[in-house]
Structure 1
Amino acid sequence: MKKVTIYDIAKEANVSPSMVSRVINGSGPVKKEKAEKILQIIKKYNYVPNALARSLTKKESRTIGIILPDISNPFFVQIYKEAEKRALEHGYNIILGNSFSDYKIESLYLKSFLEKQVDGIIFLGGRINACKLDEKYVKEMAEIKGKVPIITVNSIYEESSTLNIVTDEEKGFRELVEFIAKKGYKKIGIILGEKCISSSETKREYFLKYIKEYNLSTSKEWIIYSGFSVEAGKKGIGKLLKNKKLPEVIMCINDIVAIGAIRELVSRGFKVPDDIKVTGFDDIELAQSFIPSLTTVDQNYTEIGKLIIDVLATKSFDHNLSEKVMIETSLRVRESCN
């Protein structure tokens, strides 16, 4: 069967192709009776407009590219899920790029997104969190920003993004330490992620700042760099337990590290929270159902996901500026530290 085109629709309706286009796109006035006739013919043939042709005409593809470093990390997955739901509400499609924390792969995705003429690019991690980054990667983003808006989440290279959405991690961390102090715990340790990643270094900074402010104690042996996975949590506990003295509370860089830490503690005969308390950060879906449920900080995924799409869909940005928006975080007290 011959594929029906806009010209076939126009011929049968006895109108011009441009009028059919105006009806499809809602881009101009058409008399009611003619519009109804065109829509009847479109329905008759189940006609679907060519997306590429429409994107060339309207200079938009209705697609958004998202780059994240680790698709197995619930923090990125939950933001992605919220963003995808919001994108569908706005009539946009998402192209996902999992970079495996490889900056060269990120560059390949950036090139691919440009070739596909996406309407915006969202960075959820990777190079935007690297404390030591080759200048060529910063320059690459700055050049692309001049062509396509780039939205980042918790980036330390704000000048390379159109909009940087920042979660108020310091507020969340302060509230968590304050809660620990009010419960009467004094000796605190922390399992961080990898060195030279902004989320690790900033949380180390907040840890030392608020441990001092609330008159709590720690030691260099209780400040451990490990990683961002369940296995990293297990390894972090392995390092911590080599010490003769242990902290009362172990804070973790994120919830999945906290889950790994609890599993390792339990496997070695400790009871959580009876023997040692553990806290997470992020408030992933599993944080509530895990046993014990995690005391953690809610990063407000829903708001992040909505905002990154709304900004692109409504085009409420200035290509020439680098703006920042702060998202509130909230303490969630549960069983692992109460």
Structure 2
Amino acid sequence: MTTIRDVADEAGVSVATVSRLINNSGYVGEQSRQKILTAIKKLNYIPNEIARSLNKQSMKILGLLVPDITNPYFPSLIKGVEQCAMQHGYMLLLGNTEGQEAIGENYLHFFKQYKVAGLIKIDGTHLNTPENVPTVSLDRMNDHDRFAVVSDDFYGGKLIGQAIKETNHGSILIVTGPLDIKVSQLRLQGMQSVFDQHKITYQIYSTPSFQMEFADQVALEIIHNYPNIDTVIAPNDIYALALIQAWSQFGYVIPKNVQIIGYDGIVFGAYAHPGLTTIEQPAYQIGYQGTELLLAIINQQIDQQSSKIIQIKPQLLQRNSLREVE
């Protein structure tokens, strides 16, 4: 493996001179610069980022915390983060917290060891992020978060309420995510703002998690506890697809016997039978803009002690799992 000393020997300069050029940390004469660049190219020298970081406060690495890597919604969001980061010369360290704060804290300790330049949270839990590490929350945020790029969940809830209101909805069951998570609260409030205004009654069933592993169990509980329900609003597309599958096994015809709407806009919803009507979140856009915001903080274009929350509106993606508009 080629070392910095090999480059110095090839160029006929000192190791300190090569180091100043690589780290842009001091003056290097033009003649020496050209010799070093020629040597680097000839020897195919690649600087050791970890070694270079020892005398720096951070590396060109971003830490990314995700609550459930198996959920098909998150890859599009992660792709937005990754592409923006790579365009600016940064790489990602990914941590899958499974929605558990203890796992998240372990990853934070790991990220600190690697001197990450910044942190992106899609986790929504109340993690004690280091004060000196720029942090941006995506998709899910808490009241104490100063920087975030999120979908307008209240507006998404209103879109659901308006879509259901226009159908022959009958009895309605709102299945929420955990109500200690702000996105669940906001979506519910958006639905309630429409239903309460039009005096439409509904029931609420709160799930303990958005996690994919609980979807089948929740679907069976809903079918058992609400056998005559006419309309179900699912907390996300995964739970909606699990319900469609379970109902089909019990002989229900969708949307004739029961209609359903999801949330997220994952691609698999298009392949359900019938196609899943849902609220489509701009996942890639959230990831990309969130990373742009984080890099602006890292580069001191935005004061880390200030605050900036960006909301992006979702949209209704109409397929065939709701009855036709009356």
Shift in Å at residue 151 of structure 1? Answer: 1.1
Question: Structure 1 unaligned runs (5+)?
Answer: 129-136
Shift in Å at residue 110 of structure 1? Answer: 1.1
Matching residue of 1:327: 312
Matching residue of 1:292: 274
Matching residue of 2:265: 283
Matching residue of 2:36: 38
Give the residue type in structure 1 aligned to 2:73: F
The 1-side partners of 2:166 and 2:29 are apart by 70
Tell me the SS of whatever aligns to 1:282: coil
The 1-side partners of 2:155 and 2:29 are apart by 57
Matching residue of 1:205: 189
The one of 12, 17, 24 aligned to 1:14 = 12
The 2-side partners of 1:6 and 1:47 are apart by 8
The 1-side partners of 2:25 and 2:110 are apart by 30
Moved more, 72-81 or 24-33: 24-33
The CA deviation string for residues 301-329 of structure 1, in whole angstroms up to 9 with x for no partner, is 11111122212333343221233111221
Question: Structure 2 unaligned runs (5+)?
Answer: none
TM-score, normalization by structure 1: 0.83
The 2-side partners of 1:91 and 1:19 are apart by 24
Q: Is the 8 A contact 1:192 1:253 kept in 2?
A: yes
Task: Give me the CA root mean square deviation.
Answer: 2.6
The 1-side partners of 2:214 and 2:57 are apart by 46
Tell me the SS of whatever aligns to 1:127: coil
Matching residue of 2:69: 71
Identical aligned residues as a percent: 29
Q: Is the 8 A contact 1:186 1:216 kept in 2?
A: no
Which of structures 1 and 2 has the larger relative contact order (alpha carbons within 8 angstroms, sep 6+)? 2
The 2-side partners of 1:33 and 1:293 are apart by 66
Matching residue of 2:155: 171
The one of 218, 239, 244 aligned to 1:235 = 218
The 2-side partners of 1:149 and 1:26 are apart by 23
Matching residue of 1:82: 80
Matching residue of 2:242: 260
Tell me the SS of whatever aligns to 1:304: helix
Give the residue type in structure 2 aligned to 1:64: L
Moved more, 32-41 or 78-87: 32-41
The CA deviation string for residues 60-97 of structure 1, in whole angstroms up to 9 with x for no partner, is 31111111222222233332232123222222111111
Question: Higher helix fraction: Structure 1 or Structure 2?
Answer: 1
Q: Is the 8 A contact 1:158 1:164 kept in 2?
A: no
Tell me the SS of whatever aligns to 2:125: helix
Give the residue type in structure 1 aligned to 2:105: S
Matched, 1:96 2:94: yes
Change (3 A) 1:245 1:293: closer
